[in-house]
Chains A and B, each alone.
Chain A
């Protein structure tokens, strides 16, 4: 990458492994912000021109008609600030809100996120300090926490994707025993840390939790275990 110059925006390469998913609504909001205030936030690219942070901004900037990118080389020893003398106080305040809001509107691509965490962990990179602690060493895909932290279960298809499936579960299951699932979301999940085994045991005893070394999550009260113990299904028919 040449030193401190301006290049065409099309020379940048979107990250093919981006773990962040930007909906058209999200891109539209970033585009509106760029049209209203101009590009303000810097993006991060690597030495090969691949966008490592700011893929949504890149896409929206193209849509907003931005043609050029100013390249600023940095070794990570100083902050790079974009100075916008042209913005009034009101515009700057509005931009600050828009910038935070457009970040909120993107979501994780669970498959890409899992792969990225695995690959980086293998390279010795500890992601826990960057806020990924709930996802690491936890069966994210099966976890009831998934919907709670804004991730989508891979099988939780959007209506658009379902239309592409060849077979429909609900209609094919007709004339079979009742299934009738209802949404019963987790009210709240939290991670509790223990300094020693005595504290852990006392906690479990206080809440009457039946856990083993392999337990990854539990309910309070422990509703599934109770329902299993009391009842079972059996047919009257021979």
Chain B
């Protein structure tokens, strides 16, 4: 089963490795990959041409980096993500998916086990969940590495928190990506502060390759040269009311407190939605996998 809404991967200098692209190909899920014009040929050499979109450079020029460095430093994936947002609107879709280019697989968590997904049903489930409500603006699967499988207290959903790396976004909300760093956190906070709800799924997971491990993307553009301090500092500057700077495990991080939104932003279920006690498996069944 495939998702209802289009999937996009903004990618840079990862034509060879392209983990997310390979994962979606393996699952048979259609997608677009958005690249800078200079790398179009590289990507077309390894991915079907109709899936490769060229980023309109105007989006980079107009992009709000939230600092004074302009285009003298890499601006991160935010501009491409705004291009993607508008592209999905131009195709007539009310929502779109945008995901990092270093996700190696997608999983389902059930009965204490993280099991690989071999089609797009997980995306469809997450979409259907969001469509039950009036006021969800963004949702997405949690990182597999953040979820402890053998714990009763792991909920299927975490409400009103940061959605990162694999985002299902409602197109008609009045926000856009901004910032050279932490775009995920900033967009989540802008939505939450405006009263919208976000949903992070533990029932479906993304298995992302650890940040700063795969070549290309932000690894080369940011962290190798300047470390994580400017990234975390920008977060604190943009949202000082809920953020603070901490050094953890030898690197600078930002700590964001989402607790107030968990108490105040309440889901509003659509009037015509009927929820029964029965599970809907969406036809999902376990299959034997020979080649992994």
By a beta-carbon cutoff of 8 Å, the part of chain A in contact with chain B is 114-115, 118, 122, 137, 139, 142, 144, 147, 153, 155-157, 164-167, 169-170, 172-186, 214, 224, 227-238
Contact = CB atoms under 8 A, between A and B. Distances in A.
B69 interface: no
19 contacts: A122-B247, A144-B148, A169-B155, A169-B158, A170-B155, A174-B279, A178-B110, A179-B110, A181-B111, A185-B150, A230-B288, A231-B287, A232-B116, A232-B287, A233-B284, A233-B285, A234-B121, A234-B285, A235-B121
Given A185-B150, A231-B115, A173 B1 contact: no
B65 interface: no
Interface in B1-56: 1
A174 B277 CA distance: 6
A137 B249 contact: yes
Interface in B138-167: 145-146, 148-160
Interface stretch (B177-185, B217-225, B234-242, B258-266): B258-266
A111 to B, nearest CB: 9
A178 B279 contact: yes
A156 B262 CA distance: 14
B111 A180 contact: yes
Given A228-B292, A236-B285, 16 more contacts: A118-B247, A139-B249, A144-B150, A169-B155, A174-B275, A177-B110, A178-B279, A179-B110, A179-B156, A181-B111, A181-B151, A183-B152, A231-B287, A232-B287, A233-B119, A234-B119
B114 interface: yes
A142 B109 CA distance: 16
A101 to B, nearest CB: 28
Q: Interface size class for chain B?
A: 35 or more
Contacts of A182: 111-112, 152
A227 B122 CA distance: 19
B129 interface: yes
A142 B145 contact: yes
B286 A232 contact: yes
B233 to A, nearest CB: 16
B90 interface: no
Contact of A178 (B148, B154, B281): B281
Given A184-B112, A232-B289, A236-B285, A167 B267 contact: yes
Nearest to B161: A155
Nearest to B119: A234
Contacts of B277: 174-175
A115 B111 CA distance: 33
Contact of A183 (B151, B155, B280): B151
A31 to B, nearest CB: 30
Listed residue (A178, A228, A229, A235) with the most chain B CB atoms within 10 angstroms of its CB: A235
Given A175-B275, A233-B286, A170 B267 contact: no
B117 interface: yes
B276 interface: yes
A166 B264 contact: yes
Given A118-B246, A167-B266, A233-B286, A224 B279 contact: no
B113 interface: yes
A231 B288 contact: yes
B165 to A, nearest CB: 16
A173 B110 CA distance: 13
A165 B197 CA distance: 13
Contacts of A235: 1, 119, 121, 282-285
A107 to B, nearest CB: 16
B282 A175 contact: no
Contacts of A176: 125, 128-129, 156, 203, 279-280
Given A139-B249, A177-B108, A164 B263 contact: yes
Nearest to A169: B155
B117 A166 contact: no
Contacts of B152: 181-183
Contacts of B122: 233
Nearest to B152: A183
B226 interface: no
B113 A224 contact: yes
B210 interface: yes
Given A139-B249, A177-B203, A155 B158 contact: yes
B278 interface: yes
Given A233-B108, A233-B287, A175 B248 contact: no
A99 B152 CA distance: 34
A153 B285 CA distance: 32
